[in-house]
């Protein structure tokens, strides 16, 4: 199993680290435009192999896509992250050009790869990859909901004063501060609805803290977070590489599901060796449907900012 990660920055390197530690891939190739940067990150990570006991071979390359040839999975983390006070949507100009050129270079050398898009604004960047490549829709996956759900579970575990492993919960919708739809009604602690333990006010607070989870960290760190994003991506990569058929909320191209069309947005999907094996349609209540609709309008609005003439050229 060969995995390429484009962008050897904070998220890309963290993702490579978690993939290696989980020890399911034979090879990870990190690639970056900064001279020697990916090579340096790869060497540093490889020097942890004997300490951490993994056999995955990590190599780095400065923009030489021939090194990525025949990758099974490619992760796109290249692009600029947000700074404090910025929205993810403000990154669109620079990141659209980067994501477009990077996805074309990946597919030139690995035409059968499954592509996971991480760069922000992620739902729109995922849609851009659909518009600019001929990959089938099951092979293009946006990572956002897996991270947002992990943050939701963290906030729930805080409120419940219990380990995060006791908690299950999911965030669907757009990967933006206003677009996320944390499904508090369906969240559980050991199969018991969290609504049995937490007041509506406390749950509303958890929901709000989840939605601004990325912005909170960006303010504290001066740039966007990387540990949880890298771990979330590594879980998606593992589900595909090991054909786990696990369910994660991911940004997927919708063609009628949830009453939505022609956009990528976070919905539960089953991930296996073919990428998105199935989109799971939840029985949302009216309030959740309305939030999903509003979220989709936000995502479509950001998609409209793409220069489609440039994109299709």
Ligand X SMILES: NC(=O)c1ccc[n+]([C@@H]2O[C@H](COP(=O)([O-])OP(=O)(O)OC[C@H]3O[C@@H](n4cnc5c(N)ncnc54)[C@H](O)[C@@H]3O)[C@@H](O)[C@H]2O)c1
Query: Phi and psi at residue 267, in whole multiples of 5°?
Result: -145, 155
Total residues interacting with ligand X, rule: CB under 6 A: 34
Q: Does 229 bind ligand X (CB under 6 A)?
A: yes
Q: Does 91 bind ligand X (CB under 6 A)?
A: yes
Packing angle of the helix pair 145-160, 200-211 (nearest 10 deg): 140
Could you give the CA distance from residue 248 to residue 245 in angstroms, rounded to a whole number?
10
Q: Does 268 bind ligand X (CB under 6 A)?
A: no
Catalytic choice (88, 130, 175, 211): 175
Shortest Cβ 211–ligand X spacing (Å): 13
175 is catalytic: yes
- CB nearer to ligand X: give 77 or 194: 77
Q: Does 102 bind ligand X (CB under 6 A)?
A: yes
Instruction: For residue 268, give the nearest of 156, 164, 89, 148 by alpha carbon.
Output: 148
Q: Does 144 bind ligand X (CB under 6 A)?
A: yes
Q: Does 147 bind ligand X (CB under 6 A)?
A: yes
Q: Does 122 bind ligand X (CB under 6 A)?
A: yes
Q: Which stretch binds ligand X (CB under 6 A): 116-124, 151-159, 184-192, 276-284?
A: 116-124
Q: Does 226 bind ligand X (CB under 6 A)?
A: yes
Shortest Cβ 62–ligand X spacing (Å): 9
Contacts of 175 (CB under 8 A, 6+ apart): 88, 120, 121, 122, 123, 142, 144, 145, 147, 148, 251, 266
Q: Does 106 bind ligand X (CB under 6 A)?
A: no
CA dist list (Å): 174 to 161, 244, 266 = 28, 25, 6
Near ligand X in 1-20, by CB under 6 A? 6-12
Q: Does 224 bind ligand X (CB under 6 A)?
A: yes
Shortest Cβ 16–ligand X spacing (Å): 11
Q: Does 211 bind ligand X (CB under 6 A)?
A: no
Q: Which stretch binds ligand X (CB under 6 A): 130-138, 139-147, 265-273, 277-285?
A: 139-147
Shortest Cβ 150–ligand X spacing (Å): 10
Q: Which stretch binds ligand X (CB under 6 A): 49-57, 90-98, 127-135, 289-297?
A: 90-98
Binding site for ligand X (CB under 6 A): 6-12, 31-34, 37, 77-82, 91, 95, 98, 102, 118-120, 122, 143-144, 147, 175, 223-224, 226, 229
Residues belonging to the active site: 175
């Amino acid at each position: 199993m060969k995995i390429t990660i484009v962008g050897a920055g904070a998220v890309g390197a963290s993702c490579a680290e978690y993939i290696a530690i989980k020890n399911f891939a034979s090879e990870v190739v990190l690639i970056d435009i900064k001279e020697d940067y990916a090579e340096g990150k790869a060497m540093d990570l490889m020097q942890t192999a004997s300490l951490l006991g993994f056999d995955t071979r990590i190599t780095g390359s400065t923009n030489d896509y021939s090194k990525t040839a025949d990758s099974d999975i490619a992760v796109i983390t290249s692009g600029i992250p947000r700074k404090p006070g910025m929205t993810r949507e403000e990154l669109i100009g620079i990141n659209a050009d980067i994501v477009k050129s990077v996805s074309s270079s990946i597919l030139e050398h690995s035409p059968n790869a499954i592509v996971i898009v991480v760069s922000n604004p992620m739902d729109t960047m995922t849609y851009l990859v659909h518009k600019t490549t001929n990959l089938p829709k099951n092979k293009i996956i946006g990572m956002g909901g897996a991270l947002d759900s992990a943050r939701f579970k963290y906030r729930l575990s805080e409120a419940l004063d219990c380990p995060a492993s006791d908690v299950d919960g999911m965030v669907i919708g757009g990967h933006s501060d206003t677009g996320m739809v944390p499904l508090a009604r369906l969240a559980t602690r050991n199969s018991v609805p969290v609504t049995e333990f937490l007041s509506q006010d406390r749950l509303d607070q958890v929901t709000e803290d989840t939605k601004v989870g990325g912005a909170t960290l960006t303010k504290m760190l001066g740039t966007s977070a990387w540990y949880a994003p890298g771990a979330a991506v590594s879980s998606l990569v593992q589900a595909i590489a090991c054909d786990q058929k696990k369910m994660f909320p991911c940004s997927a191209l919708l063609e009628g599901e949830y009453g939505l069309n022609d956009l990528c947005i976070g919905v539960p999907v089953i991930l296996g060796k073919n990428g998105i094996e199935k989109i799971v349609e939840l029985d949302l209540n009216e309030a959740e449907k309305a939030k999903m609709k509003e979220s989709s309008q936000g995502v479509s609005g950001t998609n409209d900012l793409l220069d489609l003439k440039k994109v299709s050229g």
